[in-house]
Structure 1
């Protein structure tokens, strides 16, 4: 090796045998997992009722150890700021990757949201005792 030879590598090609890839170049490799743009809203029909499906949240998928999860919301009308009528958590990374038949199946497994007023508060018993 001569004094003029450059020992740096860009991370795209493995370094010559016996030399490790510099850590500063590991993060710049082209095979990083980037989130592709997803379909915003999908419309499906279940038993004659039109439903609008939208991704409410996503998690994982950045490494093989983390499963990609999607939280799907189902609205009977166009989605708004109101909470969805039904929700489902599924394994997947993109709404666009699901076909309408799969979305109908996910809808069948989805659960309706419980009304907030029907849930007792965390300190409901304590506040009830104070009133009496």
Structure 2
């Protein structure tokens, strides 16, 4: 979660952390939650864009390519293009500040999972040989 850059790695780390923490393997719950949040945020983007256009005064028509570029359009475009991602980044930093996983902790989690798997496999083989 705190150590990688791709979403799939974040999900894999979250799945491994939950397996180590609770003993439950829940990849469907993690990926389903991620998918739900991703779809909610993505659908909210249309509301933000529509609201921004309405704030500029386009209540009965949409902006056209032939419309003159005003300072209001310029600043609204800059705030949507750079401001919202910056706000999202700050929110992510605040949320991740509480993240208990570091690179070292994730290595320990993976070691503990490997030990649990080896113990379970050993127990399985002992039962099969009896």
- Shorter-normalised TM range: under 0.3
Structure 1-normalised TM-score?
0.24
Structure 2-normalised TM-score?
0.24
**Bigger radius of gyration:** 1
Q: Which has the higher contact order (CA 8 A, sep 6+)?
A: 2
Q: Which has the higher helix share?
A: 2
